Structure 1
Amino acid sequence: MAYQHQLSVPAHSTFGELKRVLAQDTGLEPGEQRLLFRGKEKDDDERLHMAGIVEMSKLVLLEDPASKERKLERMNRHQASETIAAVGAAVGKLAAKVSSSETCVHASMKAADEELADLTELLMVQLLKSDSLEAEGEARLRRRFEVRRIQDMVETLDLLKARRNSYPFISSSSDAVSVTTQRETFESGLESPSAPRPKASSPPRITNNWELFD
């Protein structure tokens, strides 16, 4: 994209002085500029009027390729550092959830398979973000650390899934109700242990006093 800048400077100024004026309008430092007049790049100590520049002359300003590349590298490093920092924050939150699931499994409490699967998927998303970065220096070391941390947590989740499926879990909140059954039978020939026993009747008394009737 091309831009036009209209400037007014003394004719005896040098191209280096012109670059310092242009830096205020373009944001490019003098060392990042290349000034061309009539297809030739001009040295900083060369004067404008000696190069044939007069009023309304046009010059071409280019950004130095090496400077542009350095800027791009700095931007990429900054972007990589921000992305790694975001990945680290997300992984830190997921680590707390993995630890909670691990505690539940080791305490023989039920941890849903869906929850373990979701955690694995979220960790893999962060792993892909880390792998796609082209980081250098400190950012590269941080990326390696986060990748290893994610891999360790994924391995932990795989072990938890295997452990969870290896034995039944007992819920910590038991809904079982203890029922005591007492049966009382009132069928013929059987008595209830708690039923009152009937009083024993006195046997009949037999006497030998007979009365005779003519």
Structure 2
Amino acid sequence: MMRKKRMSFNGRLSESTTTPTTSSTYKEEEIEWEMRPGGMLVQKRCEKSKSSAPILRLRIAYGALRYEMSINSQSTFGELKKLLTTETGLQPAEQRLSYRGKERENREYLDKSGVKDRSKVVLMEDPASTEKRFLEMRKNAKIQSAHRAISDVAMEVDKLADQVSAIEKSIENGTKVPEVQITTLIEMLMRQAIKLDSIPAEGDASAQKDLQGKRVQKCVETLDLLKISNARIKPVVVTTKWETFDPPLIAQWEIFD
């Protein structure tokens, strides 16, 4: 409290008290938060300050490959990984970024980590991701190999199925077929069935394998029925009629004295 002196009407000084007031006001700043890559909740930066931040040209070393990326200096390493995805084909979770010999987290800011224009950042593929990629490549190679093997069997089955149709047509027309021809065809079909059984297949390849197996089984069953029908057909006996001739005339010679 402040005391002020003033002159009264009777000429004496009197004191009065006043309560000071302040004209200053306090404004409470609102803090906004945002979820950064990696699930880290951090204070949201002012978009205005970020837009005015300088653009960095970074040199990215990925094995023997070199990339140059332009990015805002107030971006995070997680945001840099997203940009690198289009260049390298690696997903952000498959990337590891190192700067000055230290691996950087997704939530770390470039400028806070000391990254400058023309700085070098090392990109490496995550070892777990490399192993997973290798396993997927090996799995895909097996699937492709199975498809090729099944396709080869399918081509052979197509040829054998055509022969089955030809034999079926002949028997329906009453023409007897040599039994050895039917037996040999059954054996050839069974060989293809054995090949199918030896092919390891999964997914779509397994479905194709089952389909060809059913085709082989159907052809064999058809031949078994044709074998019975063929046995009932009597063979056609072809006879040759020989032309007969009269005995040759004996020449008579006239005897002269």
TM-score band w.r.t. shorter chain = 0.5 to 0.7
Contact persistence 1:102–1:160 (CA under 8 A)? yes
What letter matches 1:6 in structure 2? R
Contact persistence 1:80–1:134 (CA under 8 A)? yes
TM-score scaled to structure 2, two decimals? 0.48
Equivalent residues, number: 180
Residue 79 of structure 2 is aligned with which of 9, 17, 21? 17
Residue 8 of structure 1 is aligned with which of 63, 68, 86? 68
- Output the CA distance in 1 between the equivalents of 2:212 and 2:188: 16
Where relative contact order (Cα < 8 A, 6+ residues apart) is larger, the structure is 1
Q: Percent identity?
A: 22
Q: After the TM superposition, which residues 199-210 of structure 1 pair with which residues of structure 2 at under 5 Å, given as runs?
A: none
Q: After the TM superposition, which residues 41-190 of structure 1 pair with which residues of structure 2 at under 5 Å, given as runs?
A: 42-50=104-112, 55-62=119-126, 64=129, 65-66=131-132, 69=135, 73=139, 77=143, 80=146, 84=150, 87-88=153-154, 90-105=156-171, 107-111=174-178, 113=180, 117=184, 120-121=187-188, 124-125=191-192, 127-129=194-196, 131-136=198-203, 138-157=204-223, 169-170=235-236, 176-181=239-244
Shift of 1:166: 9.2
- Output the CA distance in 2 between the equivalents of 1:148 and 1:19: 51
- Output the CA distance in 2 between the equivalents of 1:81 and 1:45: 45
Comparing both structures, which one devotes a greater share of its residues to helix?
1
Shift of 1:132: 0.7
Q: 1:164 to 1:57 in 2, by over 3 A?
A: same
Q: 1:81 to 1:104 in 2, by over 3 A?
A: same
What letter matches 1:178 in structure 2? K
- Output the CA distance in 1 between the equivalents of 2:195 and 2:152: 13
Q: What CA RMSD, in Å, does the superposition of the two structures yield over aligned residues?
A: 4.6
Secondary structure, in 3 states, of the residue corresponding to 1:7? strand
Q: 1:161 to 1:39 in 2, by over 3 A?
A: farther
What are the ranges of 5 or more consecutive residues in structure 2 without an aligned counterpart? Answer: 1-61, 250-257
Contact persistence 2:153–2:192 (CA under 8 A)? no
Deviation string, structure 1 residues 138-157 (Cα, Å, up to 9, x no partner): 44233222212213323544
- Output the CA distance in 1 between the equivalents of 2:81 and 2:224: 62
TM-score scaled to structure 1, two decimals? 0.55
Deviation string, structure 1 residues 125-168 (Cα, Å, up to 9, x no partner): 465146413222x4423322221221332354466668768988
- Aligned equivalent of 1:204: none
Comparing both structures, which one devotes a greater share of its residues to strand?
2
Deviation string, structure 1 residues 171-193 (Cα, Å, up to 9, x no partner): 8xx5x43224365699xxxxxxx
Residue 95 of structure 2 is aligned with which of 34, 39, 49? 34
